[in-house]
Amino acid sequence: SAVISQKPSRDICQRGTSLTIQCQVDSQVTMMFWYRQQPGQSLTLIATANQGSEATYESGFVIDKFPISRPNLTFSTLTVSNMSPEDSSIYLCSVEGETAGQPQHFGDGTRLSIL
Amino acid sequence: QKEVEQDPGPLSVPEGAIVSLNCTYSNSAFQYFMWYRQYSRKGPELLMYTYSSGNKEDGRFTAQVDKSSKYISLFIRDSQPSDSATYLCAMSFSGGYQKVTFGIGTKLQVIP
């Protein structure tokens, strides 16, 4: 399966600032996904990033707050903008399975704390 | 009502026990069912997946899907301390390209 690397692995940020999280995959993939995992809650899809087009956001998530870039088939970034303590969470990148019908694979996530 | 319900636990069992982890769901359109294992400070790792109803076995792990009851299970035989992790059930309408809905995860501790 694809090897997914996320940077940074963790960070502590001040409220009102922004942080960009990077996701690098060791093979070319069409679809990349960004999830949020808040304490005591299930993984929630933020958006789907398809190379060459605008990201598709899920209900409750907006581009101004979570801008996403997808410059090529192996890389994506998620920015968490104007952060507040409620944004403290684990942010996870995932990619499609190798073949149709194969489940997604995840990186190890970015643990973000907002003071 | 959540689309996917999963007891968060924690569940503590002695080493060697048979573990049963379960999820219920409300949307009968789900076709793909997955179990992920997540160790502390790591991302979810795909453990097993099945399409539609039935059983699937892989070593000490068995996944069961009962679509008529909207109920899925993961059984772990001869549980080991290394099985201590959070187990997430997940499901989707179609394969890997599509949105996946997750349960909250059950935290399992296997005591030596």
Half-sphere exposure of B1 (CA within 13 A, CB side): 6
Helices (H), A7-88: none
What percent of chain B has pLDDT above 70? 97
Mean pLDDT of A69-92: 96
B6, B34, B99 ranked by CB distance to A103: nearest: B34
Q: Which of A29, A104, A105, A111 to mutate to test the interface with B (most CBs of B within 10 A)?
A: A104
Mean pLDDT of A5-20: 97
Q: How confident is the model at residue A68 (pLDDT cuts 50, 70, 90)?
A: very high
For residue A62, which phi and psi values (nearest 5 degrees)? Answer: -125, 155
Q: Which residue has the higher pLDDT, A2 or B73?
A: B73
Mean pLDDT of B27-38: 94
Chain A positions in Cβ-Cβ contact with residue B86 (cut-off 8 Å): none
Please give the Cα distance from B112 to B109 (Å, whole number): 10
A44, A96, A106 ranked by CB distance to B43: nearest: A106
Q: Which of B3, B4, B34, B38 to mutate to test the interface with A (most CBs of A within 10 A)?
A: B38
Q: How many residues make up chain B in this entry?
A: 112
